[in-house]
Structure 1
């Protein structure tokens, strides 16, 4: 964050949400590490309201370096306390972000730092989230020293509206805990495989009748559409299950996972994972009108007979014709309506050029090496 000003934050937030809408995504649970200052948080929220997407904006206290080469983290306790105060002030805003928010944006909490701060401070913040009915999301990646599930269980912490990201390779007792505590699991197969989290396990949780959905972890390193995630989740699970047959010299008579399972996980399963299944995720009387319209006359879809299967095996963001959120068209006939893309892309290109100039002289290999210690990963890397 030492490199980004508030305008950069605004542009990146708006462009990321524009990509989501363009790709047919109507709702995001946004784990936001941009609240290093109140101004940056406000810019994220402003961009979210302007985009038209439905969002749980999970403001996340997070320690950021104050300098690079060498890396200096500064007073992390003071940073964290300041960020907690920002979140508590945001919780007073009704509606969040001002009158332009018609209800499709609400405040949540991203709380990876609960592992590293004094336990009484972490518990106080979790109690605050429960008191204010704030959804909570935490990365659960023990290999990266983020053991959310174990921490919640061992410390007997509140699990009200909790959603865990990733949770790969769960033990049987992990699945029991998730189900008993009504915890949501969002699997992001692309980033989980790329970042060595483990085997994507969303389908395993889904088949155990847990709140399990599919998501996207950082469009900076992954594709921004759920069609890609559905295919990866499906085929990775099939590959692993197929291997158990190959080991015995056999082939499966029936494919081990079905397209309807991952399609559910990308829609109503995702809504269940973020505890919003009574409001979104399916077309029902009483739910919000969040609708994605897919073309069936495109080159990839024209030969389809079973459209539900084709949504998983053939569809892409290019086939998303229109998107409605909260009864309002935010994309129509291929065009974004709330975001002026031609104007935004020019500003993004200018911002990128300026930032690249600003980054000249930074030794990124040095910085990456320092991160190994900052994230306590030195001993497990080879």
Structure 2
């Protein structure tokens, strides 16, 4: 059976909704694509086939032969990329999508303070379930759930249940919206880790999401993470909080390492950036969120200058988009605009861009994989790696002609152009339709959670949160 992109000469006639189109374990051949491998030794390969056997990329090359019974996707001239990797998203907030479109960081903290006391485990499940379906649909084949809605063990279990109910790849970062770290060393982390995360090879893996303290209150929690080989992600360098003293304390205690990802990292001194760079830690930039909510100006230039490895993240669909195309463009626009502003203030032109489209595509794919310690498994189209793939259609007005594949992908493409998504060799979206993901259920759960939270805090408070008073 042959499946194909809706291209005039190569279009398949079979229905994409057939339940047996891509059965588990069946080899898959994507044929004649323009493959943006993100592999430093392979680059961009025109008119190239990618063969997937079981969960891994078996071969990348021209006119590949395939095992009997292989499902074939004809993809002549279409762009094929590794799946996006989002290194920081508060998944439970998916049930509040768009509520914070006009929020500042102050509005956000106020709203979360009002909403969290009413958050049930069922609401966390609904947010995570919808968030996972959305991620897969948008080509985000790996997403880190920065799970600070896991207020109790029951909330934590619900978060994990939802992530595991959807066949996308996720990293669950267990956290709390609190400066109380006692839950880390009390046995709760041991409990859920032993019960739910017995293998590093499963689709959903675990780490910790910890605040960065400026005193000894959090040392035991950070030490626990190091002793148990758990990566840590932490919000640092947010305007008004978690600034240089937090970085200093983490560095002085040996808590910064290549197993650490610092989110935002905006309002820091050069000395802090130097210490982050020396430690090998990563930063996760949520540029669209940072520019709209005010955590601080995105430090892309500073990270680039000091050699700090960068990844990209959505942050939250509570106010901002959930797709990585927007975040790549936001990262480029923010940094380039700042460079132009400073140069023009000096009366100088900018002759050539330092930050390129290829840089932000790296941040959104292999850079994210490196931040999660998964670059040996995902992040590039390399034989032997897990087959996490995104195929862009090429029959829409914005997708033709393609002259510069990377530039086209970053500035011309959008999530509506995603034709096919593959996670671990399993086709979860094809010809724009989800396969094996229950979007109607995700919608029902999310709308029920939204309505219950609205009722719990009262209509007046709800409306005041949506539309904060103007200055």
Q: Same fold by TM-score, threshold 0.5 exceeded? A: yes
1:14 counterpart = 2:113: no
> Which of residues 123, 133, 136 in structure 1 aligns to 2:229?
133
> Which of residues 151, 155, 162 in structure 2 aligns to 1:40?
155
Superposition RMSD in Å: 2.6
With the length of structure 2 as denominator, give the TM-score of the two structures. 0.68
Change over 3 Å in CA distance of 1:160–1:314 after alignment to 2: closer
* 2:336 matched residue in structure 1: 238
TM alignment of 1:30-179, pairs within 5 A: 30-63=145-178, 80-82=181-183, 84=185, 85-93=187-195, 95=197, 103-112=202-211, 114-115=212-213, 119=216, 122-147=218-243, 148-157=246-255, 159=257, 161-168=259-266, 170-179=268-277
* 1:25 matched residue in structure 2: 140
* 1:67 matched residue in structure 2: none
Query: Counterparts of 1:91 and 1:256 in 2: how far apart (Å)?
Result: 43
With the length of structure 1 as denominator, give the TM-score of the two structures. 0.83
**Bigger radius of gyration among the two:** 2
- 1:127 touches 1:158 (CA, 8 Å); kept in 2? no
TM alignment of 1:334-353, pairs within 5 A: 334-353=432-451
- 1:203 touches 1:233 (CA, 8 Å); kept in 2? no
Query: Counterparts of 1:326 and 1:206 in 2: how far apart (Å)?
Result: 32
- 1:301 touches 1:314 (CA, 8 Å); kept in 2? yes
Query: Counterparts of 1:158 and 1:234 in 2: how far apart (Å)?
Result: 27
Query: Counterparts of 2:319 and 2:140 in 1: how far apart (Å)?
Result: 17
SS in 2 for 1:242: helix
**Greater helix percent: which structure?**
1
* Structure 1 residue 34: Cα displacement: 2.1
1:291 counterpart = 2:406: no
SS in 2 for 1:164: strand
- Structure 2 residues not aligned, in runs of 5+: 1-115
1:4 counterpart = 2:119: yes
Q: Which one is further off, 230-239 or 30-39?
A: 30-39
Change over 3 Å in CA distance of 1:158–1:206 after alignment to 2: closer
SS in 2 for 1:56: strand
Identify which of structures 1 and 2 has the higher relative contact order when contacts are C-alpha pairs closer than 8 Å and 6+ apart.
2
- Structure 1 residues not aligned, in runs of 5+: 64-75, 369-381
1:302 counterpart = 2:404: no
The C-alpha deviation readout for 1:341-374, integer Å capped at 9, x for no partner, is 1232133223323332232166469999xxxxxx
* Structure 1 residue 261: Cα displacement: 1.1
Query: Counterparts of 1:364 and 1:343 in 2: how far apart (Å)?
Result: 25
* Structure 1 residue 154: Cα displacement: 4.2
